[in-house]
A and B are shown apart, each in its own frame.
Chain A
Amino acid sequence: MISAKILIVAPRKDNDPTVHTYDWAQKALYIAKNLGYETKILEKDEVTYENVTETIKIFEPRLFASFSHGCPNSLQGQNECMVTRKFNPSELLQMYNSNDQEKIDVFRKMFNPLGNCSTVNGICSLDDNICNPLCTNDTNINKLKNTIIYATACFSAKQLGKCAINYGVQSYIGFQDLLMFPVDSRKSQDIFGEIQLEFYKSLLMGKTIEQAEQDIIKLEDIYIKKYKNIKYISLPILWNKVNRKILGDRNASIYK
């Protein structure tokens, strides 16, 4: 039997959530290798649009796992979008002028992912946000046809995930809103890494998307109950649970 191939992408920037998602990606690599999968990782400066596109083409992964930033219509590499569905100006104009609240929301999130905030200190200043301006690289989500995409990243299920399924991606697991997690000196962030890797690990154990979802829900519920009274542990876990979105074939597994 031919072993399924796993491609992991892990950008990393200092003082950024990717410091932590990068660590999660390293654990994902360890798990996949230990289970005997042929695994490739693109990390840090290797995570460019060109490199990712070329690697997808040559390596032909069964599972594409992204531990990165995300926007409604793209997954972000080190300094640019790496997986995207490009929108042309007329499509954007249609989205802007739409009466459909969902489409308007996607459009707005492209430019202002956090929405309007009341607090200051620059938390809503997105000058360095590579979601803003729009990703202009050509569509490459179609190169992932027949794969499973596991996106530990914000927003991408909102639009990119839907496009992915239309382009023949078998299943897309991502978030329709922000991915949220606390970081503190007690390493609460590791709990969140463990939870995100639970789904991935179940997939690698040969379970279906549906079964893997049940596994992650079970773990989330354990932690939510355990830390119910510790607000900024339980609340982000529940936030991520509520905003996780599974699109496409729920009966898919890494071997079918």
Chain B
Amino acid sequence: MACSCNKKLTNNTSEKITDNKFEKLSLDTPENTIIMAGYGQFTVKQLESEIDANSEIGKKLKSVEDLLDKY
């Protein structure tokens, strides 16, 4: 039997894509978005700061971000 548990999502996910590399930081505003990462809860701004500061998690994020270009 197929699961229908996330049907509402598919109705909720159309998003206008522009020519910018990243249109928006999430489906909501950056202020309303929290990135859950283990016991840490990052704001979008904090994660961007981690990337800019080249911290441990920032470096890892950057390396994964670079992989996005393959898609």
Contact = CB atoms under 8 A, between A and B. Distances in A.
Contact of B33 (A184, A191, A224, A238): A184
Nearest to A117: B55
Main DSSP-derived SS at the B contact region: mixed
B19 to A, nearest CB: 9
Contacts of A228: 68, 71
Interface in A99-141: 113-119, 121, 123-124, 126, 128-129, 131
B22 A229 contact: yes
A126 B65 CA distance: 27
Contact of B38 (A128, A155, A227): A155
Nearest to A180: B37
B34 A184 contact: yes
Contacts of A239: 60-61, 64
A186 B28 contact: yes
B46 to A, nearest CB: 4
Interface residues of B, number: 48
A224 B65 CA distance: 11
Interface string B55-69: 111101100110110
Contact of A197 (B3, B25, B27, B36): B3
A114 to B, nearest CB: 5
Contacts of A88: none
A150 to B, nearest CB: 15
A35 B2 CA distance: 9
A216 to B, nearest CB: 14
Nearest to B26: A232
B17 A185 contact: no
Contacts of B35: 180-183, 232, 236
Contacts of B58: 118
B55 A118 contact: yes
Contacts of B3: 27, 30-31, 34, 197, 201
B8 to A, nearest CB: 8
Contacts of A124: 40
Given A113-B39, A126-B39, A184-B26, A225 B46 contact: no
27 contacts: A34-B1, A35-B1, A115-B56, A117-B50, A117-B55, A118-B50, A118-B53, A119-B50, A121-B46, A123-B46, A155-B38, A177-B60, A178-B37, A178-B40, A178-B57, A180-B36, A188-B26, A188-B27, A201-B3, A228-B68, A231-B24, A231-B26, A232-B35, A235-B64, A235-B65, A236-B35, A239-B64
Interface of B: 1, 3, 5-6, 8-9, 12-13, 15, 17-18, 20-28, 32-42, 44, 46-47, 49-50, 53, 55-58, 60-61, 64-65, 67-68, 71
